[in-house]
């Protein structure tokens, strides 16, 4: 065992003092409160808190054991409990891991702390003895009745100190080994990793309530029925006793009220699980239960106030306090939801940004290839014609003229190609005159029978216009080239803050949405947070519908 490891083991022992104490205090408080509150519903949150605190301590212990002792243990820091208010409490009490973690904490408190103190004292004493020659002259310490006043006497302590230090360091080894054993025995849980999956399950509460097995559902209904019967029976009995005896002060009111609280909470929890509609949209099951618990407590206080003869309406204050907690819960849910929404949004933005970048890259490559194979090549040919014409100008003017005419034709063709390319990048008329004019031009160039219906009062943002234009252009090109259509209907109109574009052709269908053209289109649309739907059953018709959000 290396010196560094011994130092780590010593550090681990010392951590027993704060952590052991903390664990012991939690256990003391937990087991004091639990029996005290056992018949009230407040016992459930207390137990949950108790469990969480012990789980937290166990988690810290596990990470310490890992970093200082090198043992990998994964404690289960929360109890897997069945749904239901009381069920949680029972499951916590019955949780073996919970018990083991408490025992571990107690061990740490009782023995770990003591051992740490012993080790530290031993080392301290040894160091003090070794250093005796340095400081004896200033303090003249008395050790076991021996007055150290000369250097010789002081020097005698040095070997003793060395022996004690060696012993202390040697002892660290078995202490570390037993600590490791203890941690493995008590902290490690075979299903420690379950924490994470149960976390996830906790986020989808509505699914849980609807997926309860039928047997459980039945058992829970019976439990509620028994609870109700017991409540009625106990109170009936008490009222009978009251009626049979004093008939003075109506003391059964107190148990009536006190026992009403757990019953109402129980009934509410049952109701929430039976009727998922009680969990409002965007809320969790826990919050729905919290609302019921809040209402039950409010009623409980009001009843207490009534039973105690009214007077100053003190229930106002606890009700305000509970309402604040409820509000806090509500805010917490909203914050988490907002966070979830933001995360989702970030995911979408990351995806669409990557797609937009890819799309742009593809587009640039396409343009480059077009220029290279088209206009550039034509200009080279044109230059060659002019070069030859120059050569022949004097000797053979006729041939030179023909070459110049060739060159002119080449220039015209190059211009035409460039014009087509430019239109494919961004049609000028779209910028100048808007979507309706651009689409009119587009459909004019198309040989099919195209019906164009553009209904726009004002121009949408430029990016939306461009996307809409290319949606129509691509759909029209597909209809012309592949679908065998004779007629195309195009409608473009505004609806609820988005631009709707629809292209329907009467072709034979079977368009492939993962083809380059349509895929590029989908990327373009998604980059604007829009949607693109393509339905193209074999035999047709092909319907392409894009919705592009545009806030005006």
Partner 1 sequence: MRVVIAEDLALLRDGLVRLLRDNGFEVVAAVQDGDSLVETIAEERPEIAIVDIRLPPTFRDEGLRAALEARRRIPETAILIVSQYVEHTYANELLADGRGGIGYLLKDRIMDVDEFVEAVRRVANGGTALDPEVVSQLLSRRRANGPLEHLTPREREVLSLMAEGRSNAGIAKELVLTVGAVEKHVANILSKLRLPPSEDDHRRVLAVVTYLRGERD
Question: Which residues in this chain contact partner 1 in the complex, by CB under 8 A?
Answer: 408, 411-412, 415-416, 419, 422-423, 428-429, 431-433, 437, 440-441, 443-445, 449, 451
Q: Whole-number minimum distance, CB 386 to partner 1, in Å? A: 13
Q: Reduce the DSSP state of residue 41 to 3 states and report it.
A: coil
Tokens 């039928």 correspond to what residue? Answer: 214
CB of 446 to partner 1, least distance (A): 9
Shortest distance (Å) from residue 362 CB to partner 1:
25
Q: Dig out the tokens for 350 from the structure.
A: 């990351």
**Which alpha helices (H) appear in 131-252, and where do they start and end?**
132-139, 151-186, 194-203, 205-210, 214-244
> Residue 103 contacts by C-beta under 8 Å, 6 or more apart in sequence?
186
Least distance from C-beta 397 to partner 1, angstroms?
A: 18
CB atoms within 10 A of CB 200: 8
Do the Cβ atoms of 192 and 96 come closer than 8 Å?
no
Residue 420 or 533 having the CB closest to partner 1: 420
Q: Are 407 and 389 in contact (CB under 8 A)?
A: yes
Pick 370 or 535: Cβ nearer partner 1: 370
Q: Closer to partner 1 at the Cβ: 198 or 441?
A: 441
Closest by CA to 463, choosing from 490, 492, 433, 426, is 426
Residue 406 or 529: the one with the smaller Cβ distance to partner 1 is 406
Phi, psi at 177, each rounded to 5°: -60, -45
Nearer to partner 1, 191 or 416 (CB): 416
Nearer to partner 1 (CB atom), residue 433 or residue 508: 433
> Which segments of 84-150 does DSSP mark as H helices, in order?
85-93, 96-107, 113-130, 132-139
CB of 432 to partner 1, least distance (A): 5
Q: How far is the CB of 379 from partner 1 (least distance, A)?
A: 14
Q: Least distance in Å: CB of 436 to partner 1?
A: 10
- Strands 498-505 and 142-143, how do they pair? unpaired
Are 375 and 417 in contact, with CB atoms under 8 Å apart? yes
Nearer to partner 1, 37 or 418 (CB): 418
CB 136 within 8 A of CB 151: yes
Q: Are 74 and 194 in contact (CB under 8 A)?
A: no
Question: C-beta of 532: minimal distance to partner 1 in Å?
Answer: 28
Q: How far apart are CA 278 and CA 411, in angstroms?
A: 75
The pair phi, psi for residue 498, each rounded to 5°, is: -140, 160
In angstroms, the CA 120 to CA 16 distance is: 12
- Minimum distance of partner 1 from residue 390's CB (angstroms): 18
- Residue pointed to by tokens 């050790």: 143
**DSSP 8-state class, residue 391:** H
Q: How far is the CB of 486 from partner 1 (least distance, A)?
A: 11
Cβ proximity to partner 1, 343 vs 420, nearer residue: 420
Angle, helix 377-392 to helix 397-425, in steps of 10 degrees: 160
Q: How far is the CB of 443 from partner 1 (least distance, A)?
A: 8
**Least Å from the CB of residue 431 to partner 1:** 6
Strands 142-143, 542-549: pairing is: unpaired
Give the distance, in angstroms, between the CA of residue 434 and the centroid of all CA atoms in the same chain. 43
Judged by CB, which is closer to partner 1: 429, or 477? Answer: 429
Rank residues 358 and 451 by Cβ distance to partner 1 and give the closer one: 451
Pick the closer one to partner 1 by CB: 175 or 382.
382
Q: Is 514 helix (H, G, I), strand (E, B) or coil?
A: coil
Q: Whose Cβ is closer to partner 1: residue 370's or residue 441's? A: 441
Cβ atoms of 481 and 522 within 8 Å: the answer is no
Copy the structure tokens of residue 66: 């890992």
| 273 burial type by CB count under 10 A (0-12 exposed, 13-18 middle, 19+ buried) | buried
């Amino acid at each position: 065992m290396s010196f560094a490891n011994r130092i780590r083991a010593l550090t681990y022992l010392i951590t027993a003092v704060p952590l052991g104490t903390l664990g012991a205090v939690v256990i003391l408080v937990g087991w004091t409160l639990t029996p005290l509150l056992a018949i009230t519903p407040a016992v459930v949150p207390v137990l949950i808190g108790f469990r969480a605190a012990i789980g937290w301590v166990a988690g810290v212990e596990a990470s310490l054991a890992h970093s200082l002792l090198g043992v990998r243990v994964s404690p289960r820091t929360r109890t897997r409990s069945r749904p239901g208010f009381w069920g949680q409490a029972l499951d916590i009490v019955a949780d073996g891991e919970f018990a083991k973690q408490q025992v571990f904490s107690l061990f740490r408190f009782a023995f770990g702390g003591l051992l740490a103190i012993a080790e530290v004292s031993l080392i301290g004493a040894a160091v003090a003895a070794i250093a005796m020659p340095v400081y004896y002259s200033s303090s003249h310490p008395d050790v076991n009745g021996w007055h150290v006043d000369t250097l010789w006497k002081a020097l005698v302590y040095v070997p003793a100190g060395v022996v004690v230090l060696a012993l202390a360091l040697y002892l660290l080894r078995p202490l570390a080994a037993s600590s490791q054993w203890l941690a493995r025995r008590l902290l490690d849980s075979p299903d420690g990793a379950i924490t994470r999956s149960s976390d996830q399950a906790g986020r989808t509460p509505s699914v849980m309530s609807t997926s309860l097995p039928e047997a459980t559902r039945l058992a829970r209904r019976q439990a509620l029925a028994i609870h109700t019967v017991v409540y009625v029976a106990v109170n009936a009995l008490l009222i009978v006793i009251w009626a049979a005896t004093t008939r003075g002060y109506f003391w059964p009111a107190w148990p009536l009220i006190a026992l009403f609280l757990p019953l109402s909470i129980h009934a509410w929890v049952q109701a929430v699980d039976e009727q998922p509609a009680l969990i409002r949209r965007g809320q969790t099951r826990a919050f729905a239960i919290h609302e019921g618990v809040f209402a039950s407590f409010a009623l409980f206080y009001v009843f207490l106030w009534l039973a105690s003869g009214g007077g100053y309406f003190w229930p106002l204050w606890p009700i305000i306090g509970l309402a604040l907690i409820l509000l806090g819960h509500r805010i917490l849910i909203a914050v988490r939801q907002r966070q979830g929404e933001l995360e989702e949004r970030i995911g979408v933005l990351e995806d669409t940004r990557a797609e937009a970048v890819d799309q742009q890259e593809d587009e640039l490559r396409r343009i480059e290839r077009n220029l290279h194979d088209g206009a550039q090549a034509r200009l080279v040919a044109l230059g060659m014609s002019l070069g030859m014409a120059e050569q022949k100008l004097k000797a053979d003017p006729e041939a030179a003229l023909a070459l110049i005419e060739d060159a002119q034709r080449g220039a015209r063709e190059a211009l035409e190609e460039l014009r087509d390319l430019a239109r494919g990048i961004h049609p000028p008329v779209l910028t100048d005159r808007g979507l309706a004019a651009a689409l009119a031009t587009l459909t004019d160039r198309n040989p099919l029978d195209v019906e164009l219906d553009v209904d726009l009062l004002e121009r949408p943002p430029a990016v939306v216009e461009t996307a809409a234009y290319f949606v129509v252009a691509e759909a029209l090109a597909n209809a012309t080239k592949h679908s065998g259509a004779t007629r195309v209907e195009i409608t473009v109109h505004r609806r609820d803050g988005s631009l709707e574009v629809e292209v329907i052709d009467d072709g034979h269908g079977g368009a492939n949405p993962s083809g380059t053209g349509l895929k590029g289109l989908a990327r373009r649309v998604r980059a604007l947070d829009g949607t693109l739907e393509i339905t193209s059953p074999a035999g047709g018709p092909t319907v392409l519908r894009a919705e592009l959000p545009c806030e005006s």
